[in-house]
Amino acid sequence: MNDRDFIIGAGGVTFSFLIYWFMGHPFFIIERIVMFIAIMTFTGTLLFFIRKARRGEEIFLREIPGLKAVEEAVGRSTEMGKPVLFVPGIMDMDQVETVAGVIVLGHVSKMTARYETTLNVPVSRAIVMKAAQDVCKESYLMEGRPDMFHEDMVHYLTDEQFAYAAGVNGIMVREKPAACMYMGKFYAESLILAETGNSIGAIQIAGTASQAQIPFFVTACDYTLIGEEFFAASAYLSQRPELIGGIKGQDMIKIIIIGMIIGGVVLRFLHDGGMIDFNILEFLTVR
């Protein structure tokens, strides 16, 4: 899509919405208009920077030690002749973290194919198993090593949380992988996995958006991708301009949000001081 098509498309969407709005906006929940505008603004910002990156504008992406260490971890496994263990969380493909984890697995499997290192991916959901098998297969094909790929490198253990943790722990203790990566959605099993990995001396990299599990991973792993860093992993590892553009867009949205927070505090202060009637909390509360 070139610039002209993009502008026509965006203009068409905006124009259609305006017509819909002036026709009395049937079915639209008017109390949620602030959230709707926020989503549209943020989406527009993201798309703007994605297009900028696609046009070839250079975008700086700060170094993320955890992602830089992924190749180092695979290299270490290669040198030691031990496998790489990748755990894509315990939830299904309906969770965005699991999808992000599977995408990172694609990059990791490219590295294991390149370095001819064994990859072991125990999964806890059958759909994740199929998705992960496809992703790995393609990575091995792209690296020109289809001979190294075998479907059993991604294998199903169980849907049950602690049974899965026990199974992965067993693999760790028996096979002693040199690198353990935990990328996905985790719950209480996070520390059980990470501490076992720590006890076998593996280099450990974790990435999750499960806020309650981040401290456990920070404590037990060598590197942890905290929240948004995890979602930036795909852009960082692939270095594809449209994905890096999205990261820049995210940063811009963050600046907008910081501005809104400061503005909100000032407006609330003025409201509480009786200087204005406009109540920002009332305005922003989502119903």
Partner 1 sequence: MLWKRQIPILIVAVIGSITLFGWFINEPNIKSFVDDDATQWFDILASFAIFLGGFNLLKMQLQKIFRRQRGWQYSIFAIAGFFLAITAGFFYKGNPDVAWGTHVTADGTLFKWIFTYMFAPLQATMFALLAFFVASASYRAFRIRNFEATLLLVSGIIIMIGRVPLGSFISSWFILYLLVLIGGITVNSFFKNKQYTAIFVIVGIIVVTAAGSSLGWPLDQPGILYLPYLQEWIYKYPNVAGARSIMMGIGMGIFATSIRYILGIEKSYIGE
Which of the residues 49 through 108 are near partner 1 (CB under 8 A)?
50, 92, 94, 96, 99-100, 102-103, 106
Tell whether residue 118 is a contact of partner 1 (CB under 8 A): no
**For residue 232, what are its two tokens?**
């930036």
Query: Of the two residues 159 and 278, which places its CB atom closer to partner 1 in the complex?
Result: 159
- x/- contact string, 237-266, with partner 1 (CB under 8 A)? -x---xx--xx-xx--xx--x---------
Amino acid making up residue 97: E
Tell whether residue 13 is a contact of partner 1 (CB under 8 A): no
Of 105, 125, 101, 109, the residue nearest 208 (C-alpha): 101
| Nearest-approach distance from CB 282 to partner 1, in angstroms | 19
| Nearest-approach distance from CB 187 to partner 1, in angstroms | 11
Residues 107, 152, 194: CA angle, nearest 5 degrees: 60
| DSSP character at residue 159 | S
Query: Of the two residues 80 and 191, which places its CB atom closer to partner 1 in the complex?
Result: 191
Count the neighbouring beta carbons within 10 Å of the beta carbon of residue 80: 15
One residue of 35, 262, 265, 281 binding partner 1 per CB under 8 A: 35
Tell whether residue 275 is a contact of partner 1 (CB under 8 A): no
- Asked whether the beta carbons of 77 and 83 are under 8 A apart, the reply is yes
One residue of 4, 62, 174, 287 binding partner 1 per CB under 8 A: 174
Please report, for residues 81, 109, 236, 244, 245, the alpha-carbon distance to residue 228 in angstroms, rounded to integers and kept in the order given. 33, 22, 12, 13, 15
For helices 3-22 and 33-54, give the axis angle rounded to 10 degrees: 170
Q: What values do phi and psi take at 204, rounded to 5?
A: -120, 135
Cα dihedral 52, 228, 13, 257 sign: negative
Span from 31-39, 57-65, 80-88, 177-185 in contact with partner 1 (CB under 8 A): 31-39
Alpha helices in 116-240 (DSSP H): 126-142, 161-175, 189-199, 214-220, 228-231, 233-238
Task: Give the footprint of partner 1 on residues 121-140 (CB under 8 A).
Answer: 125-127, 129-131, 134-135, 138
| Nearest-approach distance from CB 151 to partner 1, in angstroms | 8
Span from 62-70, 77-85, 212-220, 264-272 in contact with partner 1 (CB under 8 A): 212-220
Query: Of the two residues 57 and 159, which places its CB atom closer to partner 1 in the complex?
Result: 159
Q: Give the interface size with partner 1 as a residue count (CB under 8 A).
A: 76
One residue of 14, 16, 41, 219 binding partner 1 per CB under 8 A: 219
Residues whose CB is less than 8 angstroms from the CB of residue 253 and which lie 6 or more positions away in sequence, other chains included: 42, 45, 46
| Nearest-approach distance from CB 75 to partner 1, in angstroms | 22
Tell whether residue 21 is a contact of partner 1 (CB under 8 A): no
The span from the CA of 85 to the CA of 65, in Å, is: 19
Residues 36, 41, 42: CA angle, nearest 5 degrees: 100
Tell whether residue 156 is a contact of partner 1 (CB under 8 A): yes
Query: Of the two residues 276 and 281, which places its CB atom closer to partner 1 in the complex?
Result: 281
Query: Of the two residues 198 and 270, which places its CB atom closer to partner 1 in the complex?
Result: 198
